Amino acid sequence: MTFTDIQSARKDIRHRMERAVEVLHEEFAGLRTGRAATSLLEPVTVQAYGSEMPMNQVGTISAPEPRMLSIQVWDKGLVKAVEKGILESGLGLNPATEGQVVRVPIPALTEERRQELTKVAAKYAEDARIAVRNIRRHAMDDLKKAEKDGQISQDAQHEYADDVQKYTDEFVANIDEALANKDAEIMQV
């Protein structure tokens, strides 16, 4: 393993860990809090033109009020499909149609539902931590193999292992911070 290979591997590990945190943020965006966020409807798909399409590809999603989302549907023929997609999304939302605009009121969350959402957020965070730790484990295995095969020295292996551990600690801390922020957002009345 050359210096260039090690640098490339470091970048790859860092990129994969960053991606795990990005996926966590995407999952958190789909969790409903008491406020309207356009990201809530982004994972919702609509049956349009013979295939499943993301909501943001059939209309403009906006949050005109703190507890209201609206979708300006571009094709009048898809208004019913947008309504149906929202109803079948499992988000517990009831859309109302006015012409080509679908309005989605965001109901206030009950205390019980808030507790459930914090548990879901914690599960998402734990999945992200597991992903980061798996990346670390694979990197450490590759390092041990490279040292055993004589591709890198024992000192280089220890130095690189320390870097991998620093990355792991950094990204687990990022995940914990994101979870704390999401929990605070969910519990805010």
> Does residue 47 carry a pLDDT above 80?
yes
SS3 70: strand
Mean pLDDT over residues 153-182, rounded? 92
Residue 99 burial (C-beta neighbours within 10 Å; 0-12, 13-18, 19+) = exposed
The verdict on 11 and 55 lying in the same domain is: no
The verdict on 181 and 150 lying in the same domain is: yes
Decide if 95 is inside a domain.
yes
Domain end call among 105, 123, 151: 105
Decide if 60 is inside a domain.
yes
Token output for 132: 């980061």
Question: Which of 5-9, 28-32, 132-136, 150-154 has the lowest average pLDDT?
Answer: 28-32
Q: Which backbone phi and psi does 96 adopt, to 5 degrees?
A: -130, 135
Separation of alpha carbons 14 and 143, rounded Å = 15
> Does residue 115 carry a pLDDT above 90?
no
Q: Which backbone phi and psi does 106 adopt, to 5 degrees?
A: -100, 110
The verdict on 126 and 64 lying in the same domain is: no
Mean pLDDT over residues 165-173, rounded? 95
The verdict on 12 and 53 lying in the same domain is: no
Q: Read off the pLDDT of residues 76-112 as tens digits, 9 standing for 90 and up.
A: 888 999 999 888 877 778 899 998 899 988 877 788 8
Q: Read off the pLDDT of residues 120-138 as tens digits, 9 standing for 90 and up.
A: 889 999 999 999 999 999 9
The verdict on 98 and 114 lying in the same domain is: no
Under the banding of pLDDT at 50, 70 and 90, the label for residue 32 is low
The verdict on 24 and 114 lying in the same domain is: yes
**Predicted structure pTM score:** 0.68
Residue 47 burial (C-beta neighbours within 10 Å; 0-12, 13-18, 19+) = middle
Domain that holds residue 78: 45-105
Q: What is the dihedral of CA 14, 17, 18, 23, to 10 degrees?
A: 160
Closest listed residue to residue 107, CA positions, set 119, 116, 95? 95
Residue 62 burial (C-beta neighbours within 10 Å; 0-12, 13-18, 19+) = middle
SS3 34: coil
Domain end call among 55, 71, 105: 105
Task: Name the E strands within 56-119.
Answer: 59-65, 68-73, 96-98, 101-105
How many structural domains are present in the chain? 2
The tally of CA atoms less than 13 A away on the side-chain side of residue 107 is 10
Q: What is the CATH number of the domain that holds 126?
A: 1.10.132.20
> Does residue 1 carry a pLDDT above 60?
no
Under the banding of pLDDT at 50, 70 and 90, the label for residue 116 is confident
Decide if 65 is inside a domain.
yes
Decide if 39 is inside a domain.
no
Token output for 65: 């009020």
CB 162 within 8 A of CB 94: no
The verdict on 121 and 57 lying in the same domain is: no
Q: What is the CATH number of the domain that holds 65?
A: 3.30.1360.40
The verdict on 179 and 116 lying in the same domain is: yes
Domain end call among 58, 86, 105: 105
The verdict on 97 and 159 lying in the same domain is: no
The verdict on 83 and 51 lying in the same domain is: yes
pLDDT for position 102:
92
> Does residue 19 carry a pLDDT above 90?
yes
